[in-house]
Amino acid sequence: MIPMSRRVLLAGAAALAGCRAPPAGPKAAPPKTLAAAVAGPWRSAEDRVRDRWRHPRESLSFWGLAPGQTVVEFWPGAGWYSDILAPFLDATGGRLYAAHLQLVEPVDPSARQVVDAYRAKYAAGDRPYGTVEITAFGATSGPVAPAGSADCVLFLRNLHNWMAAGIAEKAFRDAFLALKPGGVLGIEEHRAAPGGVPDLLAETGYVDQAYAIRLGQEAGFRLAATSEINANPKDTRDHPFGVWTLPPVRRSSPRGEAFDPRFDHTPYDAIGESDRMTLKLVKPA
């Protein structure tokens, strides 16, 4: 059995392995609009093909992303969303904080790999990222950004990891501290079937929407709106290896075991990516 904290870090490393930046080409014009940032040629083909499932332009618009804002992205992984946020915010006078995996001695090599690769990518200077402020989030981390400085904080498909590691409540508290009064917490997360008993460890990767909202309210947030932007009614949620059976992970065996070449991915590929909740919570003014 792999320890829970190790399993969370392995998930982050897997996400990193699946997202590679395209080769550097002619420097693109600074994206002054969200549409231009989503269409940016610096984004990899692998990332772009997932837009049909993650709907970045629609989701960020729903959360109220605007030019010149200060945004905090928790656990950005390889930078799927950072590749949109960083250029847009830099071009419009804003700022991006990336609250990455907290590295605690003895440092897990997979965690170090994820953070070092992200740091190198956004410091390279060959793409219009500007300066990304890298902070940390974890069990004993400090502020993810200066208190009361952020217009928007984003939890993007990571709440299940924090529930597994026992730090979900801290994530909401840290987000609340970073936000300005009236600031927005945007959440995209794999959604469990409604009406069941919430799985507090999110072992299948799916999270009860009502439970996610309650965690936010207990931290002081107010629910402002929900959206079905990222819904997928084909997702039955009863997959042999949890949500990771579906694309983009496409697991064919239990976590930690070798790939099973006999596993039939066909019915799961037909589903596509998971059904997801999309929530907008607000720090009261």
**pLDDT tens track for 17-75:** 444 444 444 467 889 999 999 999 999 999 999 999 999 999 999 999 999 999 999 99
3-state secondary structure of 34: helix
The pLDDT, as a whole number, for residue 29 is 84
Within a domain: 206: yes
CATH number for the domain spanning 125: value is 3.40.50.150
Within a domain: 45: no
Q: How far apart are CA 11 and CA 110, in angstroms?
A: 9
Residue 104 has pLDDT above 80, yes or no: yes
Q: How many domains does the chain have?
A: 1
Within a domain: 226: yes
Within a domain: 257: yes
Give ∠ CA 254-255-259 in degrees, rounded to 5.
Answer: 70
Q: How far apart are CA 72 and CA 237, in angstroms?
A: 30
Within a domain: 120: yes
Within a domain: 32: no
Q: What is the pLDDT of residues 237-279, one digit of tens each?
A: 999 999 999 999 999 999 999 999 999 999 999 999 999 999 9
pTM passes above 0.85: yes
Pairing status of strand 70-74 against strand 95-101: parallel
Within a domain: 260: yes
Q: What is the pLDDT of residues 126-173, one digit of tens each?
A: 899 999 999 999 999 999 999 999 999 999 999 999 999 999 999 999
Reading the block at residue 154, the tokens are 């984003």
Q: How far is CA 224 from the centre of its chain?
A: 20
Within a domain: 35: no
Domain range for residue 105?
4-20+51-282
- Sorting pLDDT into bands at 50, 70 and 90, what band is 196? confident
